[in-house]
Amino acid sequence: MGDLIDQLRAGLPAEAVVTDPDVTASYAHDMASFCAAGAPAVVVLPRTVEQVQHVLRTATALRVPVVPQGARTGLSGAANAVDGCIVLSLVKMDRILEIDAVERIAVVEPGVVNADLSRAVAEQGLYYPPDPSSWEQCTIGGNIGTASGGLCCVKYGVTAEYVLGLDVVLADGRLLRTGRRTAKGVAGYDLTRLFVGSEGSLGVVVRAVLALKPAPPQQLALGAEFPSVAAACEAVRQIMAGGHAPSLLELMDRTCVRAVNALGNMGLPESTEALLLVAFDTPDPAPDLAAVAEVCTRAGATEVVPAEDAAESELLLQARRMALPALERLRPATMIDDVCVPRSALADMLQGTEAIAREHDLTIGVCAHAGDGNTHPVVCFDPADPEEARRARASFDRIMALGLELGGTITGEHGVGLLKKQWLAEEAGPLAMELQRGIKAVFDPLGLLNPGKVLDVAAPHPIGFPTPA
């Protein structure tokens, strides 16, 4: 331990090396439930690429595991510490290095907060679309690590579609540059996409070249109330099949609606079984909203309320933003799931989740990026009640299995981390897992980078001990 700290301090400012156990304990985990977290040996907070390289070289020399972290807003345990590790927190690397309106790119460090980047590019008439719910706290590095999404994905896509190039420090401290700054590029294997979604298990992102869009017009929204989730999901199917291009298409089930009413006095009818929110950011959204309102009415909506202006749109969308905090008030803890299914299976996913809630005697609310088929079942439970916690974990596994049965995936935007490793193997199959372990071995042969996350790989040397002479 002393040798590790001394070697780290040899290449880092004193304030960048934190050993106070009360402080290091606060870096032990992200926001996921049911994920074990160890005790870090040290937390380092570098400010430069060279300092990150020093940390990785030291870790490799001493065979110490490294857990990269951003803002720790993740929901899969990917940022959780392991015993004796170096927590490599990148939040101090928070500079926006460049915004180029001609090339429509931004060059940023990993600790830049998503909302800060969005506001900075907006000042130049540009738009960075990926907008996770935690956008005021989460960092670009974390977004890249988990391939995160957001409310606008239905029209603009996810983080992976905006990462053009990366600078990555590898496990042994070498600096790798991938990708490009150009609008096009197909030279060689796409290593950039390989790192996006790898959850810090292949390398540490220290710089990113991100694609930008021209700023769209202000969006207008409508809310549609339905007597069943099946009717709401039929409206989603018809909206997408009809060629409409909403900038937002979100769904909340009755549990979410009632929780939001209780928290924010939103005045939504308690009889509402599903609330669909649709927005357009076209130059003239009124015809689009009118067309979608007609689709919703045909599908069985009991009421459709279009916004007249941006202020009314904001009031409608406030209900969706309140869904998670409202559900969090129902029980002492929540587990937020992240299953993505084909849009045609969305109703089966929501109805199946409701049945699972009844089967396990739990409250499970579902909000969804409906246009993507990406559902977020939120299991509400009391971790102090062992039996209720057991049922919560069992319900999570049933929801995972249901998603796969419906032709979906275990995660649309939260990542695998610790929480879903066994389910990744179930989804991917033995051959894909063998190849993924091979990729991990190429980039991290000692198994030091975020060990135990995404997939299990045996390290050739005991972690935490030097290689014998």
The 3-class secondary structure across the chain, one letter per residue, is: CHHHHHHHHCCCCHHHEECCHHHHHCCCCCCCCCCCCCCCCEEECCCCHHHHHHHHHHHHHHCCCEEEECCCCCCCCCCCCCCCCEEEECCCCCCEEEEECCCCEEEECCCCEHHHHHHHHHCCCEECCCCCCCCCCCEHHHHHHHCCCCCCHHHHCCHHHHEEEEEEECCCCCEEEEECCCCCCCCCCCHHHHHCCCCCCCCEEEEEEEECEECCCCCEEEEEEECCHHHHHHHHHHHHHCCCCCCEEEEEEHHHHHHHHHHHCCCCCCCCCEEEEEEECCCCHHHHHHHHHHHHHHHCCCEEEECCCHHHHHHHHHHHHCHHHHHHCCCCEEEECCEECCHHHHHHHHHHHHHHHHHCCCEEEEEEEHHHCEEEEEEEECCCCHHHHHHHHHHHHHHHHHHHHCCCECCCCCCCCCCCHHHHHHHHCHHHHHHHHHHHHHHCCCCCECCCCCCCCCCCCCCCCCCCC
Estimate to the nearest angstrom the gap between the alpha carbon of 107 and the chain centroid: 21
* pLDDT confidence of residue 462: 42
Distance CA 253, CA 365 (A): 7
Q: Is residue 450 part of a domain?
A: no
Low pLDDT (below 70) residues in the chain = 458-469
Q: Same domain for 152 and 126?
A: yes
Whether residues 84 and 106 fall in one domain: no
**pLDDT for the residue numbered 465:** 36
Evaluate the CA torsion angle 90, 93, 94, 98 in order and state its sign: negative
**Total number of domains in the chain:** 3
136 and 209 in a common domain: yes
Contact 107, 165 (CB under 8 A): no
Q: Return d(Cα 266, Cα 218) in angstroms, integer.
A: 23
**13, part of any domain:** yes
Same domain, 202 and 234: no
Shared domain check, 247 and 208: no
Q: Is residue 387 part of a domain?
A: no
Give the integer Cα–Cα distance in Å for 427 and 420. 10
- Shared-domain flag, residues 173 and 80: no
Domain match, 77 and 151 both: no
Is there a domain that residue 122 lies in? Answer: yes
Based on the fold, state whether residues 230 and 307 are members of the same structural domain: yes
Q: Residue 316's pLDDT is what?
A: 85
Q: Of 199, 214, 229, which residue sits at a domain end?
A: 214
The domain that holds 206 is classified in CATH as 3.30.465.10
Could you tell me if residue 16 is inside a domain? Answer: yes
Residues 139 and 246 occupy one common structural domain:
no
**What percent of the chain shows pLDDT beyond 90?**
88
Domain assignment present for residue 449? The answer is no
User: What confidence tens digit (pLDDT) does each residue in 171-220 have?
Assistant: 999 999 999 999 999 999 999 999 999 999 999 999 999 999 999 999 99
Distance set, CA 94 to CA 117, 136, 209, 212 (Å): 10, 14, 14, 18
Q: Is residue 104 part of a domain?
A: yes
Is residue 7 domain-shared with residue 34, that is, in the same domain?
yes
Q: Which of 89, 116, 143 is the last residue of a domain?
A: 89
- What does the pLDDT look like over 17-43, one tens digit per residue? 999 999 999 999 999 988 999 999 999
Tens of pLDDT, residue by residue over 120-152, are: 999 999 999 998 888 899 999 999 999 999 888
The CATH number of the domain where 245 resides is what?
3.30.70.3450
What's the CATH number where 7 sits?
3.30.43.10
* Full residue range of the structural domain in which residue 12 is found: 2-89
Q: Are residues 223 and 262 in the same domain?
A: yes
Residue 263 domain-assigned (yes or no): yes
Domain end point (choices 62, 89, 116): 89
- Is there a single domain that holds both residue 203 and residue 134? yes
